[in-house]
């Protein structure tokens, strides 16, 4: 049984995030999103504990905003062949766009 570690409510999200790790970049589908983390449908060979950088385009009233976020892979779920999901914990840091993400999520919830 997997222990539930979520501290923030997740929202279904349809879009892509650009995931960078070990000098590589790929675009993966976002499944869920919250101010504390997100889940990606990804076949990227990244182990739990690995640091990643995410670039997440978010829609807004004035167009799209690209949100740069730092994170760490906390879990890899094997759903089915080719359907792996990565659970990523967001790690707020100076210069990231976590405030933009939080604003987007609060407007979406309203």
What's the chain's length in residues? 110
Indicate the pLDDT class of residue 16, thresholds 50, 70 and 90: very high
**Per-residue confidence (pLDDT) for residue 8, from 0 to 100:** 58
Average pLDDT, integer, range 35-49: 92
**How do 63-77 and 37-41 pair as beta strands?**
unpaired
Q: What is the pLDDT of residues 55-101, one digit of tens each?
A: 999 988 888 999 999 999 999 988 777 679 999 999 998 888 899 99
Pairing of strands 51-60, 37-41: unpaired
Percent of the chain with pLDDT over 90: 55
Which domains can be identified in the chain, with CATH numbers? 11-109 (2.40.10.220)
């Amino acid at each position: 049984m997997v222990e539930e570690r979520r501290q923030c409510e997740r929202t279904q999200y349809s879009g892509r995030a650009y995931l960078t790790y070990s000098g590589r970049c790929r675009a993966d589908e976002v499944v869920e999103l919250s101010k504390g983390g997100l889940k990606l449908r990804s076949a990227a060979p990244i182990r739990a504990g690995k640091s990643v950088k995410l670039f997440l385009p978010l829609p807004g009233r004035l167009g799209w905003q690209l949100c740069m976020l730092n994170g760490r892979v906390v879990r890899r779920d094997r759903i089915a062949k080719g359907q792996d999901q990565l659970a990523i914990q967001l790690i707020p840091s100076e210069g990231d766009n976590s405030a933009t993400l939080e604003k987007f999520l609060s407007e979406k919830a309203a």
